[in-house]
Amino acid sequence: MITFLKNNFYFFLLIAFFKVNAQAGPPPMAKPDINNQLIIDEIIGVTNHESYFINYCTKKVIEYAEENNWSKEKTSEILGSINFKNYNQTIYNSYAFFTEKQLTDLLNVLKSFESKDSFILTNQMMQNNLDLYVRNLIKGKYISGKK
């Protein structure tokens, strides 16, 4: 009886192992096609999203640095590691499911609002990723050579 239970236990473990290994990873991040990406680049430009990103990160880092008595050198090093290219995939991902017409219409509306002030469009995912970026920025994860 014990041998029977032991063999069934090993068989169960073998089945469980294959079941666990058969699990697929998360789906790849959604990306717009090249035509839509060009329109999204224009949207980023019209809204001055990169400036907003840099200003937001800078403000958050300076607040954190002051609260935690960082040295000027550490603060400068962290501020120097702000890079929009580490974040802009979030924007592309947010617009990945828009049609070319929808993006063109959005771009035209944003151009009609264009002024010296920025008009930023964001959503919960973009804001969450921006806050995550800032947390990692403060930890020094974007300093060259650190991961």
DSSP class per residue in 80-116: HT--GGGTHHHHHHHTTTS-HHHHHHHHHHHHHH-SS
Which domain, by its residues, includes 52?
A: 36-138
Q: How many domains does the chain have?
A: 1
pTM of the model: 0.76
Closest by CA to 32, choosing from 44, 46, 48, 50, is: 44
Q: Is position 5 within any domain?
A: no
Compute and round to an integer the Cα radius of gyration of the chain. 23
Kindly report the length of the chain.
Answer: 147
Give residue 120's pLDDT. Answer: 79
Q: Is position 1 within any domain?
A: no
Cβ-Cβ contacts under 8 Å for 24 (sequence gap 6 or more): none
Q: Is position 101 within any domain?
A: yes
Contact predicate 114/46, CB 8 Å: yes
Rounded Cα distance, 125 and 145, in Å:
28
DSSP state of 87: T
> Residue type at 114?
E
Q: Is position 12 within any domain?
A: no
Q: Is position 2 within any domain?
A: no
Q: Is position 25 within any domain?
A: no
For the chain, 147 residues long, the average pLDDT of each consecutive 10-residue run is 58 56 61 91 93 96 96 96 94 93 94 72 91 96 73
Contact predicate 120/57, CB 8 Å: no
Give residue 31's pLDDT. Answer: 81
Q: What are phi and psi of 30, to 5 degrees?
A: -65, 140
Give, rounded to a whole angstrom, the gap between the first and last alpha carbons of the chain: 53
Q: Is position 31 within any domain?
A: no
Q: Is position 147 within any domain?
A: no
